[in-house]
Amino acid sequence: NAEFPLPAETRIFTISNQKGGVGKTTTTVNVAAAMATMGARVLVIDLDPQGNASTALGIDHRGDVAGIYEAILDDQPISELISESPDVPGLWGVPATLDLAGAEVELVNVDHREYRLRRAIAALLVDESVDRFDYIFIDCPPSLGLLTVNAFVAAREVLIPIQCEYYALEGLSQLISNVNRLSEHLNPDLRLTTILLTMYDGRTNLSQQVAAEVRKHFSAETLGAVIPRSIRVSEAPSYGQTVISYDPNSSGAISYREAALEIGTRGAR
């Protein structure tokens, strides 16, 4: 797998969709794990108080563990908060603990409240105590609160996972106008670069119709790879694993590797 191209500069993605259950966390951890197995150094920042990404990476996120809360609200360096996923070398994570739920409210009264995560990541990029990461993925909660705004301000690229279901396109135009408004006011570098179709079921007309519709409107952004609905994908987290390490030959692992390779090959555009 020597042909996975590494970016000259760290690429920073936020994985966003204000809907819950569309595959944000699953996409974050599996694309990240796939890239790591292909030779990239990858960091996942868990920004959802539920800590689902931390669970899937096999990274401790009990209440007494220091995590992204400490970086955002206490200025603790991210380099002190990262740990390597036990199953995938090169894949690192910053855990989210439940106290992060309170951060949404606590941030309201903090200076530069939209820029906390951006500042923490900027410090990481020049922190000589850690090797450079090729990719940083931020897994967002399903809301447009201050945590999600922090992710939009910290990232350069937006990856939207779209579940191939009836209401998939509803809310998408709102999400895109949020991205545009945010980039206008808070982060001019932000761009929607990547859309990934998930939970695709090729046997149903609905999945095919949703996929066709998304490709019609977002032909440049939508990856060719599509993630099928698969039991193996959904059971991996209960073993504290990504499907990439849990069942590398499953259809889910194969398609997430394809998606990761496409993201790497297309480069930041």
Q: Name the minimum Å distance from CB 52 to ligand ADP.
A: 5
Q: Name the minimum Å distance from CB 208 to Mg ion.
A: 26
Which of residues 25 and 241 has its CB atom nearest to Mg ion in the complex? 25
DSSP state letter for 78: G
Distance CA 107, CA 91 (A): 29
Q: Does 142 bind ligand ADP (CB under 6 A)?
A: yes
Contact window for ligand ADP (CB under 6 A) among 24-32, 96-104, 144-152, 218-226: 24-32
- Contact present, 4 and 40 (Cβ < 8 Å): yes
- Exposed (0-12), middle (13-18) or buried (19+): which is 154, by Cβ within 10 Å? buried
Which of residues 124 and 172 has its CB atom nearest to ligand ADP in the complex? 172
Given 174, 204, 234, 265, the residue binding ligand ADP (CB under 6 A) = 234
Site for ligand ADP in 212-231 (CB under 6 A): 227, 229-230
Q: Name the minimum Å distance from CB 101 to Mg ion.
A: 14
Contact letters for Mg ion, residues 34-73 (x by CB under 5 A): ------------------x---------------------
Long-range contacts for 201-209 (Cβ within 8 Å, ≥24 apart)? Answer: 201/164, 201/228, 201/229, 202/228, 206/164, 206/165, 206/166, 207/164, 207/165
Distance CA 30, CA 252 (A): 9
- Contact present, 87 and 245 (Cβ < 8 Å): yes
Given 11, 24, 61, 116, the residue binding Mg ion (CB under 5 A) = 24
> Cβ–Cβ contacts within 10 Å for residue 73, how many?
17
Contact letters for ligand ADP, residues 169-208 (x by CB under 6 A): -----------------------------xx---------
Distance CA 168, CA 207 (A): 10
Which of residues 25 and 230 has its CB atom nearest to Mg ion in the complex? 25
Tokens of 263: 């993201």
Chain contacts with ligand ADP (rule: CB under 6 A): 20-26, 52, 142, 198-199, 227, 229-230, 233-234, 252
